[in-house]
Chains A and B, each alone.
Chain A
């Protein structure tokens, strides 16, 4: 990254690779052929094929907007510092290119000021292998995140069965990292909502904590010892 020629080429490669990878991944996730995507975006199939070619560098923003509309996802085009690009390369992993459409990603505004972490829930999550919980009101997806060390996230669906299984794995990872903090963000649900969780057979109740995923650091008042 310290070499100017490398940086310039990295930007070009990042843009063309990412766009092609996202289009192909989202299209296949929908089960669409290139022809179907072409019909939905008002383009020819041959054009979709070109756009999915990672060597194609002349994509236009207007074309991206049409594809965003076809996939019903948002689109941002912005300049960023190289440190942010470097951060992206270090965090890239499975799921990077899987973008949920609007029907699966309607984010309500959540009042972070009411995001209190109930210590009983956090402690219970850290101490037990089995957590069964369900939202007392509302529903949808939310995400639990564990600290310190590398964040350990657990996407949770409000349906009880899936909830329990994924949380088990999350709790195991947390224990291995000696967690001190557990947080959650509620999506697609009235905010804030109440949650009822059981840990080791003990029912616990509290406000589902919320967390701004775009903010890497937790405010002090949301850190548990």
Chain B
């Protein structure tokens, strides 16, 4: 069974991860994140270096993805068998994830646990184009 990725969404339907990805100015960043997730979906397990537990914050993990020397750090958590929920997007600065992004991820995790937020299947950037090109 391959891994499945989910995005954090508000109960109103607003997909906060899609909003973060669409807001990235660098197309290379979207490609790097897309292909990292696609690759990880097919891996039996994720070695250190692919995903890291964020120290000091329970159940919070980060992916380490670089594009054009910018360090993207999607924050998320495991839920269920081979399912991963992306809670927030972050960009590392001075080797640290901004405090605001950490607090956002933690708050969203709490909302999901209280059914005040939800998980929706992650859609890969330009997936329509990918499929069209494949035909």
Contacts and interface: CB of A to CB of B under 8 A. Distances in A.
Contact of B31 (A13, A92, A95, A97): A13
Given A2-B126, A54-B50, A94-B1, A28 B35 contact: no
Given A24-B47, A54-B49, A96-B42, A9 B31 contact: yes
Contacts of B28: 5-6, 8-9
B32 A9 contact: yes
Interface in B37-73: 38-45, 47, 49-50, 64-67
Interface in A17-69: 17-18, 20-21, 24-25, 28, 49, 52-55
A93 B39 CA distance: 9
Contact of B133 (A9, A12, A21, A86): A86
A90 B49 contact: no
Contacts of A102: none
Given A2-B126, A24-B47, A55-B64, A90 B31 contact: no
B44 A98 contact: yes
A106 interface: no
Contact of A52 (B36, B40, B47): B47
Q: Interface residues of B toward A: which range? A: 35 or more
Interface in B92-135: 124-126, 129-131, 133-134
A52 B16 CA distance: 31
A90 B131 contact: yes
B27 A13 contact: no
Contacts of B66: 55
Given A1-B133, A86-B133, A90-B130, A6 B49 contact: no
Given A13-B35, A14-B35, A93 B27 contact: no
A217 interface: no
Contacts of A54: 36, 39, 49-50, 65
B88 to A, nearest CB: 20
Contacts of B38: 17, 89, 92
Interface of B: 1-2, 26-32, 34-36, 38-45, 47, 49-50, 64-67, 124-126, 129-131, 133-134
Nearest first, the 5 A-B pairs at minimum CB distance are A9-B28, A9-B31, A13-B35, A17-B39, A5-B27
Given A86-B131, A86-B134, 5 more contacts: A1-B129, A14-B39, A17-B38, A86-B133, A93-B41
19 contacts: A3-B27, A5-B27, A8-B28, A10-B31, A13-B35, A14-B35, A28-B44, A28-B45, A54-B36, A55-B64, A86-B129, A86-B130, A87-B134, A90-B130, A90-B131, A92-B39, A94-B2, A94-B42, A98-B44
